[in-house]
Structure formats: structure tokens, C-alpha cells
Structure 1
Amino acid sequence: MATPDSAKPTYIYKLIPSDAAPPDPLPSALPVSELDRSSGFIHLSTAKQVPNTLKRFFTNESRVYILRIPYDPIESNIKWEDPRGEAAGPRGGEGMFPHLYNDFKVGNEEVESVGVWDRKDGQSWDEALESANEWLLY
């Protein structure tokens, strides 16, 4: 399952808090978060980055939705940058995240599947994601 950090990912992921649950079926474009709008791009993570993204930005969430997005179709709109989008670097480089610059379009054409993860009281995100190993792909 693991790949070298610089290898091109098969999928990248968008994490969504429970209060912004994506509708089923997905529309052609999902609502854009305030963070994404103010940053000017859509924040995404690789499979390897998902656990730490959850630990850092979703500490008060007990449920998250994770959108699995095939990388190849959107690669031309991805820039690998630090979390703020201020410094660019190599794909998979230390602290570099995939940021999507495509007029904020993520919807049914981009998303392959939606995962839902819950964590029980006192459970860490690492524990909650143990069942995601077959779904959270590099």
C-alpha cells in the first residue's frame, strides 16, 4: 500500500466535517468551505496526510466525510504547496499538500467515492481509521 513520497498518487482526498455532509447523490459542484474560498484553492490531502490532517483540523469532530478523488484527471490543476499555499515544492515533498486550483469545482465528475468515518468517545482518529486501510489508497 505504501508508495514513495514523490510517487504520483492514485487518489487524493478532501475531508469534510459532519456539519457539511455532502448530499447523496453528489451534485456537479459541492459547496466551498470558507477556508477554501479564503485560500483561493481547495485543500486536499494524500492518503498518508489524512490522519494528521484529521488530528490537526478535525479535533472536535466525531464524524468526517472523506471524498476520494482520482488524481490523474485533475493533475493539471494541482499545485503542491505548503498548507497556506505560500511556498511550492515537489510532489510529496516535506510539508507539501495537493491544492486544487480549478474554480472550486469538486463534485460528481471528480469524486469517485465518499467514505464516512466515525470515532467513538475517547477514540483517536488513528483508531477510527483502522478500518479505512482498504479504502484509503495511495
Structure 2
Amino acid sequence: MTSVIYKICPKSLWDQAETAGEFTGAGIDLADGYIHFSTAEQTPETARLYFSNTPDLVVVAVDATPLGEGLKWEESRGGQLFPHLYGALPTSAVFWVKPLPMDDDGAPQVPALDADTDS
């Protein structure tokens, strides 16, 4: 599986996570009992389906390697395997955080999600 996974969340929640040193999840994560992530290929569709017309979002690039056994690849949308983290995400595992702006129609504009870990 890929070593870089992505999380979309409100900037305010991410700001809290940076202060705390860990991200414990957004509302849907807390309800489901794990933190939802996507691969680079899955992130644009996740953004479109779940985050249209949602202001002040960020996309977070995460190093999956240090997440260990808490990270499970589970079947979800369309039978695809999605990364789910059972536990808190330490902010030390984050490569970068970028804004997720909306276009004039409210569609999320996902930035390039390459393996660039220095941005």
C-alpha cells in the first residue's frame, strides 16, 4: 500500500490538532470510530462527494509508515480499499498541510497530491 495518505478536514480542527500534537478526528471519524483517509487517487472524489460547498478546509499529507498496526486498509466506496486509522494521528507524521479552496460552483480544488514531502 501507499506510504502517503491524505485527510481532508476543517482548518479549525487541524489548528487544534497542531496545538494538541495529535488529531483525534472530525465528526464522521468520531462517529465511525476511526479516522478516514484517502490515497492520492481517491482524494479528489472524496473531496467532491463529501466536502463540496464546505469553506475553510485543508488537505493533510500523512506518512502512513509510523502509524503501525492502527492503520487498516478496508473496503469502502465502490469496493476500493481505503486507509482507516484506529487511534489518534500524531501531527509528527504529517508531511504538509495545504488549503483546499472551492471554485465558484463550490467544488473543491484539490492541489497536486504527489509524493512531495517537503512542501
TM over 0.5: yes
Provide Cα deviations, 1:79-102, integer angstroms capped at 9, x if missing partner: 111349xxxxxxxx9422100012
Instruction: Indicate the structure (1 or 2) with the bigger Cα radius of gyration.
Output: 1
Name the TM-score, length of structure 2 as normaliser.
0.79
Q: What residue ranges of structure 2 are gaps of 5+ in the alignment?
A: none
More strand by share: 2
**TM-superposed deviation, 1:31:** 4.7
Name the TM-score, length of structure 1 as normaliser.
0.69
Partner of 1:4: none
Partner of 1:110: 93
Distance in 2 of aligned mates of 1:25 and 1:106: 9
**TM-superposed deviation, 1:62:** 3.9
Question: Conserved in 1, the CA contact under 8 Å of 2:54 and 2:106?
Answer: no
**TM-superposed deviation, 1:21:** 4.3
Matches for 1:17-56 after TM superposition, within 5 Å: 17-18=10-11, 20-23=12-15, 26=18, 27-56=20-49
Query: Structure 2 vs 1, CA of residues 81 and 31 (structure 1 numbering), >3 Å: closer, same or farther?
Result: closer
Query: Structure 2 vs 1, CA of residues 38 and 112 (structure 1 numbering), >3 Å: closer, same or farther?
Result: same
**TM-superposed deviation, 1:51:** 0.3
Instruction: Work out whether 1:69 is the aligned partner of 2:62.
Output: yes
Partner of 1:16: 9
Question: Conserved in 2, the CA contact under 8 Å of 1:62 and 1:119?
Answer: yes
Partner of 2:80: 95
| Percentage of pairs with the same residue | 27
**TM-superposed deviation, 1:33:** 1.7
Query: Structure 2 vs 1, CA of residues 55 and 113 (structure 1 numbering), >3 Å: closer, same or farther?
Result: same
Q: Number of residues paired by the alignment?
A: 114
**TM-superposed deviation, 1:25:** 8.2
More helix by share: 2
Q: What residue ranges of structure 1 are gaps of 5+ in the alignment?
A: 1-7, 85-92
**After TM superposition, what 4+ stretches of structure 1 lie above 4 angstroms from structure 2?**
none
